[in-house]
Amino acid sequence: RLSETLAITELQHHGRSPSTLESVMGKFSKRDSSEIIQPVRSVVPIQQHSGFLGVMPAYLTAEGILCTKMVAFYQRAEGSSLPSTQATVLLFHPEHGNVTAIMDGEAITAKRTAAVSAISAKLFKPALSEVLCILGSGQQARSHYDVFTKLFKFKEVRLWSRRKEMAQRFVNDLQDPVTVCSSVKEAVIGADVIVTATGASQPILFGEWVKPGAHIAAVGACRPDWRELDDVLMREAVVYVDSREGATAESGDIILSGAEVFAELGEVINGSFPAQHEKTTVFKSLGMGIQDAVSAKLVLEKWNSEY
Ligand SMILES: NC(=O)C1=CN([C@@H]2O[C@H](COP(=O)(O)OP(=O)(O)OC[C@H]3O[C@@H](n4cnc5c(N)ncnc54)[C@H](O)[C@@H]3O)[C@@H](O)[C@H]2O)C=CC1
Ligand SMILES: O=C([O-])C1=[NH+]CCC1
């Protein structure tokens, strides 16, 4: 519950000094192992139950953060009320190795992923971005809606979900108007910013529908044989990732399309690669242990200051 109080502004200082997440992703992209150690996630498939258990350790020396997240992610049958992403975060004392905190990781996962996508949108979205489209209506769709509408001004927000009633339920809880669309095509035509946050394992977003210059923050399809985006989109867009090692090991959209990775988000933050916001851009997010680590540290600091 405490992690739910983690304000997104603590993760994402829009337009001001770099946020904690931006700084740490910039540092990661320098590949200095005396500063950050974060191996690619270890994933154990749980084949008979269509699930995966991922372990995501990270050590940030200057910040004094030693952390691991354990995340279980499942492909749920349509209509299942079970969460598809469940996580626990452990913080350790870097000097002594003892556990200093055990946290629920669901809210951290939802918020840090959306905050990182928002950093990608800040860097890559077209200068005039009026239409936001979100594909999916689960936890990530919700956190992305919250952050994107808080940080950016859109004239129109559209939502598509494979079950229309779930999209309708999502929209019913909101203050501001959101258009529920009946098809992905209807939702994405003319959109400037598109978030894909689904459990799809086959492409649902096709390049022929995407407005030239649009930015896509692609959050789902985190297995080497899963897709959300088709080959046309992957090959025509400038592709950014959170981590090159993670993307080339885990992203079906990248591996199966043969698309070239242009840069990591951290490399753009560091200024070593440009943000090509005038072109169609894809930010392929897989999720990183360092993102959980700095978010968990913020939660712990808040806890220590309040209790
Ligand atoms: N990049 C990252 O850091 C992270 C990625 N994820 C991934 O993001 C995706 C969404 O995660 P959550 O929001 O936690 O899940 P959720 O279960 O809360 O929501 C999933 C949404 O996808 C839809 N969906 C499921 N299968 C589909 C299909 N075959 N075609 C179209 N829509 C489908 C569901 O109806 C629902 O709207 C998952 O793939 C998950 O593994 C989750 C956490 C972090
Ligand atoms: O980073 C993360 O926590 C996850 N990425 C894919 C599923 C969970």
> CA distances (Å), 261 to each of 81, 205, 253, 280, in order?
36, 19, 11, 14
Which sign does the torsion angle of CA 251, 253, 257, 260 carry?
negative
In the numeric block, the tokens 């953060």 are attached to 65
The answer to whether the complex's ipTM is over 0.95 is yes
3-state secondary structure of 53: strand
pTM of the model: 0.96
Residue 294 half-sphere exposure, CB side, CA atoms within 13 Å?
Answer: 28
Position 77 scores a pLDDT of 87
Coil, strand or helix: which one is 57? strand
Ligand 1: residues within 6 Å at CB?
73, 76, 84-85, 109, 113, 136-141, 161-163, 166, 197-200, 204, 219-220, 222, 285-287
What was the pLDDT predicted at 306? 85
Q: Which residue numbers in the chain have pLDDT < 70?
A: 1-17
Q: What is the pLDDT of residue 79?
A: 82
Read off the pLDDT of residues 45-66 as tens digits, 9 standing for 90 and up.
999 999 999 999 999 999 999 9
- Tell me yes or no: is domain 3-108+290-306 CATH 3.30.1780.10: yes
Instruction: Report the amino acid identity of residue 90.
Output: L
Q: Which residues line ligand 2 (CB under 6 A)?
A: 71, 73, 85, 109, 222, 286-287
Query: How many residues can be counted in the chain?
Result: 307
Domain boundaries of the chain, sorted by first residue: 3-108+290-306, 113-287
Q: Please check whether the two domains, 3-108+290-306 and 113-287, share a CATH topology.
A: no
The alpha carbon dihedral of 241, 242, 248, 251 has a sign of: negative
Give the integer Cα–Cα distance in Å for 94 and 304.
Answer: 18
CATH number of 113-287: 3.40.50.720
